[in-house]
Amino acid sequence: MNILVCGGAGYIGAHMCMQLAASGHGVFVFDNLSTGHAEAVRWGELIQGDLTVTGDLDRAFKRQNYSAVMHFSAKSLVGESMLHPELYYHNNVTGTLNLLDAMVRHDVKALIFSSSASVYGTPAYSPIDEQHPKAPINPYGRSKLMVETMLADFDAAFGVRSVSLRYFNAAGADPGGVIGEDHDTETHLIPNVLKSVLQPEAHSLRIFGNDYDTPDGTCIRDYIHVVDLCGAHMKALDYLLQGGKTEAFNLGNGKGFSVLDVINAAQKVTGQDINYSIQARRLGDPAVLVASSTKAKSTLGWTPKYTDLNKIIETAWRWHRTQHA
């Protein structure tokens, strides 16, 4: 099958293209390269364009007949969304609306959407299942929830079926070290911890808040390996193409690790002490986010392979060392 991967030059998108190609699918990457990297497009053809430009989308859809679209193209920095909500509604909401319109015009009926745990807001209970109230506390999360609402409406009106995959914290890298996490401005904890080890003079490690209502005062998150995320997308693709209905699924390990837990694990993996400083909390950060992925396991038949934090960090460490060398 031919799959259009929007945002396929980014961290998760590039890993997805690798898995799709390994499964024999034709891969076509649609990306504006604002945060992705052209050199990451190794498994398929790059169609450079922007979701907010209708002509770019029509050009991409005229290039090939697609069985499905995978959508990774989103702005995703919580703090930035608090300061510049207009960027998030323009890119994440308007851009996705343009994509859905193009799918209707070109008769493509299956979409897998990268949603987020941020649609839930501050947890009322943990672990979070899909029935948890949706009350996002930042524009990033609100933009994701708006898209999920649009997806339900486009299914009802046009028969565009979709799966929304609500990620918790994506982490790790290709175990073979071929690709990994490479953001120009890195905000994710694990790569920042590892960069502080490899280049301490250039990358000082900061912890944002140590006064949360958690055992050690730092935020607790559920880390899910990027390879496992992509595996869930493959399962979701099969589900849709076999006639599955529009649905949303959480993707996580069901285990919570604090910021200090991650630092301690990284010290074991790297064999080095890790220094850090405490900063004020970031805007829009809940204290705890841990997933229940029971629904994805039962409906999609998905099971994460990387459940050990040390193993997740080891794959990232392997890739970062190679890049540093």
Please tell me the distance from the alpha carbon of residue 110 to that of residue 103, in angstroms, as a whole number. 9
Q: Is the model's pTM score more than 0.85?
A: yes
Which pLDDT belongs to residue 76?
Answer: 85
Q: What integer pLDDT is reported at residue 132 of this predicted model? A: 97
How would you classify the pairing of strands 220-221 and 257-258?
antiparallel
d(CA 9, CA 5): 9
What number is the average pLDDT over the span 97-118?
97
Please give the share of the chain, as a percent, with pLDDT higher than 90: 80
202 has pLDDT over 90: no
pLDDT band at residue 325 under the 50/70/90 scheme: low
Among 86-100, 188-202, 221-235, the minimum mean pLDDT is found in 188-202
For the chain, which domains are there? 2-170+223-251 (3.40.50.720), 172-221+254-324 (3.90.25.10)
Computed over its alpha carbons, how large is the radius of gyration of the chain? 19
Q: Does pLDDT of 27 surpass 80?
A: yes
Q: pLDDT averaged over the chain?
A: 93
- 204-232: pLDDT as tens digits: 899 999 999 999 999 999 999 999 999 99
Indicate if 66 belongs to the active site. Answer: no
For 110-147, write each residue's pLDDT tens digit: 999 999 999 999 889 989 999 999 999 999 999 999 99
pLDDT at 289: 87
SS3 180: coil
Mention every residue, 6+ apart, whose C-beta is less than 8 A from residue 271.
none
Q: Is 247 helix (H, G, I), strand (E, B) or coil?
A: strand
Q: DSSP string spanning 85-131? A: HHHHIIIIIIHHHHHHHHHHHTT--EEEEEEEGGGS-S-SSSSB-TT
Q: For residue 15, what are the contacts with CB-CB under 8 A and spacing of at least 6?
A: 174, 179, 226, 227, 229, 230
Q: Point out the catalytic residue in the list 11, 66, 88, 140.
A: 140
Nearest to 194 by CA among 202, 72, 95: 202
| Distance in Å from the first CA to the final CA of the chain | 38
* pLDDT at res. 153: 98
Q: In angstroms, rounded to a whole number, what is the distance separating the alpha carbons of residues 144 and 118?
A: 8
